[in-house]
């Protein structure tokens, strides 16, 4: 059997020695990641609140279902396109990949930031008038900007991560990926701090600042040469690159790891897609703001802005990720991932237990510890099984597991929060069910005036209203659902680890000899599940869900490709181009 993969084997080298082993290009690449994340999270952390903000308050006033639909397709584009652009990064170069991505992201930020002005230009009337007439175009305009940003990020990720994987010393892989993750969160910490101040002045300033920030990533490209490619020169055509990328997903160990880990990402992204709205609607953080002093920004009701609360996640990772990475370097990847998922699931469940700002911060802190154990370790694991010369391709595969969980979670969470979590919608429901207001009168209320109307009807202030709605409609129950999905992911990964370890020690194991059949058997229920979900939503509401459709189409393509891959493998075995040994199916690493 093969020797242990260097990138995966636990490292025993001293901390200082590992840190000194990183090259100049490694640090340049990490700096570009910091800049890109500064811009990305500067916008990303304010979007959940901005998208549903009332028109009268300067927002486009989308629904949570529309928000979830945007995030679902954003997840598909941002996470699945790298499966293919990773191969192009290996073929055409990391620097070109990064430059193209930067242009796409700049345009995306500007289109989203000016979505209201652009829609008013297209409609010829103010957004409020167009919305009342049912003719406004703000959703497709914002959607277009979001997809450009998603595409730019999809192109950027495998190019940048492939460059880092290329420069990664094998003896410092765990520390190196944690340094990378730490740089991600330096950018992710600074961006929201700036955005929290700029959006008080004008929402458009957030998008302008982020577009200007990402433009600085052109500069470092002039200060290093394209790294030499490993192995022979790649002369594949674009079609061949796409075909190899698709077939690569059928590698049994890669496929099952991706499927098992997807539940963690469904749970994970609720911290950024739903928690901002949940904090804005339900959490009382006045005591936290008072403890921090007068220098921190506050919302109109005295709360600490949700951007600053959630930023504890990035702040903790920014300061401590390298320490967790150094510690997890002494254990195998999969146990570290499983431990991280378990810690994160406890934190997600805890978010629904209290409306206290201090309690919410404690749950965010606990989640961050779990994230530091699980998230960067996935890159170490996949980098360890990536053949030399295909680092960009395998870093693209990193994003597939994220995309499945994020996209499905966006659809589910958007629908759940629209009906059972959004405070304005629950206030409307309370007016109808408990105060006797007519449905037509409620529908005529401006979104920004609903709580005032409920206060006038009941004589309650905003905090009393919040507590009554919390007790009546239990908006916290969704966190139990997300935590349960995280626990299910943990269980499946434990089963996967048991399977891989058994196959590693038994060359005749069915997973080694017939792994393609395992993959095909798993694809059938996945295809049926996504197909049914798409059909059921189409029948129930008449809505064509592009994200679910694309996921179903992807897995249908994978199922069909599994037959092509099997014929190709059989042909190779017959003509002697493959050694045909069962040992080749599962490499002997410590994964």
Average pLDDT of the residues in 468-494: 94
Least confident of 224-228, 262-266, 276-280, 304-308: 224-228
Number of neighbouring beta carbons within 10 Å of residue 2: 10
Q: What is the pTM of this model?
A: 0.80
- Give percent of the chain above pLDDT 70: 86
Angle made by CA atoms 207, 212, 217, in degrees to the nearest 5:
125
Number of neighbouring beta carbons within 10 Å of residue 77: 23
Least confident of 119-123, 346-350, 374-378: 374-378
Q: What is the pLDDT of residue 179?
A: 80
Q: What is the pLDDT of residue 109?
A: 95
| Partner residues linked to 284 by β-bridges | 356
Average pLDDT of the residues in 526-550: 84
Least confident of 36-40, 120-124, 358-362, 562-566: 562-566
Q: What is the pLDDT of residues 365-402, one digit of tens each?
A: 999 999 988 877 777 777 676 666 666 566 667 777 88
Q: What is the pLDDT of residue 521?
A: 92
Band of the pLDDT at 122, cuts 50, 70, 90? very high
End-to-end CA distance of the chain: 15
Q: What is the pLDDT of residue 393?
A: 64
Q: What is the pLDDT of residue 108?
A: 95
Average pLDDT of the residues in 197-219: 86
Please state, in angstroms and rounded to a whole number, the distance separating the CA atoms of residues 190 and 31. Answer: 13
Long-range contacts of 458-467 (CB under 8 A, 24+ apart): 462/301, 463/284, 463/301, 465/427, 466/281, 466/282, 466/284, 466/355, 466/423, 467/355
Least confident of 143-157, 191-205, 276-290, 509-523: 191-205
In CATH, the number for domain 25-420+474-513 is 1.20.1250.20
Please state, in angstroms and rounded to a whole number, the distance separating the CA atoms of residues 85 and 395. Answer: 10
Average pLDDT of the residues in 425-438: 93
Average pLDDT of the residues in 541-550: 80
Q: Is the pLDDT of residue 586 over 60?
A: no
**Strand, coil or helix: 9:** coil
- With beta carbons less than 8 A apart as the criterion, state whether 312 and 365 touch: yes
Q: What is the pLDDT of residue 232?
A: 56
Band of the pLDDT at 94, cuts 50, 70, 90? confident
Q: Is the pLDDT of residue 320 over 70?
A: yes
Q: Is the pLDDT of residue 4 over 50?
A: no
Q: What is the pLDDT of residues 76-90, one digit of tens each?
A: 888 878 766 666 666
CA 423 from centre of chain: 25
Average pLDDT of the chain?
83
Q: What is the pLDDT of residue 235?
A: 66
Alpha carbon separation from 166 to 89, 158, 173 (Å, rounded): 12, 11, 11
Q: Give alpha helix (H) positions in 293-332.
A: 306-328
**Strand, coil or helix: 342:** helix
Q: What is the pLDDT of residue 574?
A: 43
Q: Is the pLDDT of residue 266 over 70?
A: yes
Q: What is the pLDDT of residue 211?
A: 93
Q: Is the pLDDT of residue 585 over 70?
A: no
Q: What is the pLDDT of residue 203?
A: 83
Please state, in angstroms and rounded to a whole number, the distance separating the CA atoms of residues 463 and 116. Answer: 32
Residues 6 or more apart whose CB falls under 8 angstroms from that of 120 comprise 126, 127, 130
Band of the pLDDT at 17, cuts 50, 70, 90? confident
Least confident of 45-54, 164-173, 463-472, 552-561: 164-173
DSSP, residue by residue, 383-432: HHHSPTT-HHHHHHHHHHHHHHHHHHHHHHHHHHHHHHT-HHHHHHHHHH
Q: What is the pLDDT of residues 169-197, one digit of tens each?
A: 777 776 787 788 778 878 888 888 888 77
Average pLDDT of the residues in 29-44: 90
Least confident of 76-85, 86-95, 415-424, 542-551: 86-95
Q: What is the pLDDT of residues 499-523, one digit of tens each?
A: 888 888 888 888 888 888 999 999 9
Average pLDDT of the residues in 272-300: 90
For 468, counting Cβ atoms within 10 Å of its Cβ (0-12 exposed, 13-18 middle, 19+ buried), the class is middle
Least confident of 103-107, 230-234, 437-441, 555-559: 230-234
- With beta carbons less than 8 A apart as the criterion, state whether 309 and 285 touch: yes
Band of the pLDDT at 573, cuts 50, 70, 90? very low
Residues 6 or more apart whose CB falls under 8 angstroms from that of 434 comprise 472
- Give percent of the chain above pLDDT 90: 35
Q: Is the pLDDT of residue 41 over 80?
A: yes
């Amino acid at each position: 059997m093969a020797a242990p993969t260097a990138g995966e084997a636990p490292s025993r080298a001293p901390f200082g020695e590992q840190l000194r082993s990183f090259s100049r290009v490694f640090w340049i690449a990490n700096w570009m990641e910091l800049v890109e994340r500064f811009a990305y999270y500067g916008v990303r952390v304010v979007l959940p609140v901005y998208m549903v903000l009332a028109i009268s308050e300067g927002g486009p006033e989308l629904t949570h279902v529309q928000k979830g639909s945007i995030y679902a397709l954003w997840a598909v584009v941002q996470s699945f396109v790298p499966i293919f652009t990773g191969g192009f990064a290996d073929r055409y170069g990391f620097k070109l990949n990064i430059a193209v991505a930067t242009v796409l992201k700049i345009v995306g930020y500007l289109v989203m930031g000016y979505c209201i002005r652009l829609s008013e230009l297209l409609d010829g009337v103010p957004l409020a008038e167009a919305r009342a007439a049912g003719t406004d175009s703000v959703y497709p305009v914002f959607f277009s900007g979001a997809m450009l940003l998603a595409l730019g990020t999809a192109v950027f990720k495998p190019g940048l991560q492939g460059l880092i994987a290329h420069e990664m010393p094998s003896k410092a892989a765990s520390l190196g990926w944690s340094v990378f993750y730490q740089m991600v969160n330096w950018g992710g910490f600074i961006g929201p701090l700036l955005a929290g101040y700029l959006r008080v002045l004008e929402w458009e300033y957030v998008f302008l600042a982020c577009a200007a920030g990402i433009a600085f990533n052109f500069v470092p490209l002039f200060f290093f040469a394209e790294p030499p490619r490993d192995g022979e020169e790649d002369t594949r055509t674009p079609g061949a690159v796409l075909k190899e990328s698709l077939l690569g997903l059928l590698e049994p160990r890669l496929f099952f790891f991706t499927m098992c880990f997807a539940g963690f990402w469904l749970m994970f992204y609720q911290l950024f897609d739903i928690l901002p709205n949940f904090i804005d609607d339900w959490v009382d953080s006045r005591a936290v703001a008072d403890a921090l002093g007068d220098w921190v920004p506050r919302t109109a009701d005295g709360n600490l802005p949700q951007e600053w609360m959630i930023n504890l996640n990035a702040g903790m990772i920014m300061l401590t990720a390298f320490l967790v990475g150094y510690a997890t370097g002494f254990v195998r990847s999969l146990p570290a991932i499983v431990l991280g998922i378990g810690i994160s699931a406890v934190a997600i469940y805890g978010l629904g237990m209290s409306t206290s700002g201090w309690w919410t911060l404690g749950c965010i802190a606990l989640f961050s510890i779990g994230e530091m154990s699980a998230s960067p370790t996935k890159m170490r694991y996949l980098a360890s099984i990536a053949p030399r010369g295909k680092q960009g391709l395998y870093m693209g595969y990193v994003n597939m597991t994220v995309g499945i969980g994020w996209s499905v979670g966006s659809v589910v969470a958007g629908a759940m929060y629209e009906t059972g979590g959004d405070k304005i919608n629950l206030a409307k429901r309370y007016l109808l069910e408990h105060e006797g207001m007519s449905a037509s009168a409620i529908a005529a209320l401006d979104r920004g005036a609903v709580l005032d109307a409920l206060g006038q009807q009941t004589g309650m202030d905003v905090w009393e209203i919040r507590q009554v709605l919390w007790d009546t409609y239990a908006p916290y129950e969704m966190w139990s659902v997300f935590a349960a999905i995280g626990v299910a992911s943990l269980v499946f990964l434990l089963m996967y680890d048991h399977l891989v370890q058994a196959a590693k020690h038994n060359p005749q194991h069915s997973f080694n000899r017939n792994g393609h059949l395992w993959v095909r058997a798993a694809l059938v229920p996945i295809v049926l599940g996504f197909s049914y979900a798409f059909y059921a939503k189409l029948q129930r509401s008449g809505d064509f869900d592009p994200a679910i459709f694309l996921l179903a189409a992807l897995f249908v393509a994978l199922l069909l490709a599994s037959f092509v891959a099997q014929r190709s493998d059989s042909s190779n075995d017959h003509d002697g181009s493959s050694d045909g040994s069962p040992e080749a199916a599962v490499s002997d690493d410590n994964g």
